[in-house]
Amino acid sequence: MLRRVAVVGVPAQDLVRAAHFYRDTLGLPMLPAEGRHAGPPHFRVGDTFMAVFQRSESEAKVSTPLVAFEVDDLDTAMAMLKERGVAFEGVHQEKESCWIKFCDSEGNVLELIQFVHGAV
């Protein structure tokens, strides 16, 4: 049966610009373009891989999946990314988590999420 999310695909119109955002703005380690990671940029996020792939013109208006990055401290993560030019929408809070949305260089919606201690 399903064990975990292994790969998340994120569409981009400009692969160089997107790679810069994920590597330099978010600070994700970019994997060498060899073997199974040859081709579009691949990043490691914990034990999950994220692949940035070329979005065609016909796919430009198709909605994309949301990618949420778990952080230990939402305020610290937001402050670091604000210094790197990231703009955020308002913070949302529920019983077990709080999160905030922002967009990558390609207009994809991303989130930072902090879970309450013990919640998953």
Instruction: Specify whether the CB–CB gap between 23 and 50 falls below 8 A.
Output: no
Q: What is the pLDDT of residues 96-111, one digit of tens each?
A: 889 999 999 988 889 9
Higher-confidence position of 6 and 59:
6
Q: Tell me, what's the pLDDT at 67?
A: 87
CA-to-CA dists, residue 28 to 20, 21, 49, angstroms:
10, 9, 11
Q: What pTM, to 2 d.p., does this model score?
A: 0.75
Structure tokens at 2: 């399903």
User: Would you say residue 21 has pLDDT above 90?
Assistant: yes
Where do the domains of the chain lie?
7-56+64-115
Alpha helix locations (H) across 37-116? 74-83
Instruction: Specify whether the CB–CB gap between 43 and 28 falls below 8 A.
Output: yes
User: Would you say residue 2 has pLDDT above 60?
Assistant: no
Q: Could you say which of 3.40.50.720, 3.10.180.10, 1.10.760.10, 3.30.465.10 is the CATH number of the domain covering 7-56+64-115?
A: 3.10.180.10
User: Would you say residue 76 has pLDDT above 70?
Assistant: yes
Q: What is the pLDDT of residues 30-63, one digit of tens each?
A: 998 877 666 789 999 988 889 898 876 666 566 5
Structure tokens at 106: 């390609």
Structure tokens at 54: 């070329």
Return the SS3 of 81: helix
Higher-confidence position of 20 and 39:
20
Instruction: Give residue 8's Cα distance to chain centre.
Output: 9
Q: In the predicted model, what is the mean pLDDT of the chain?
A: 85
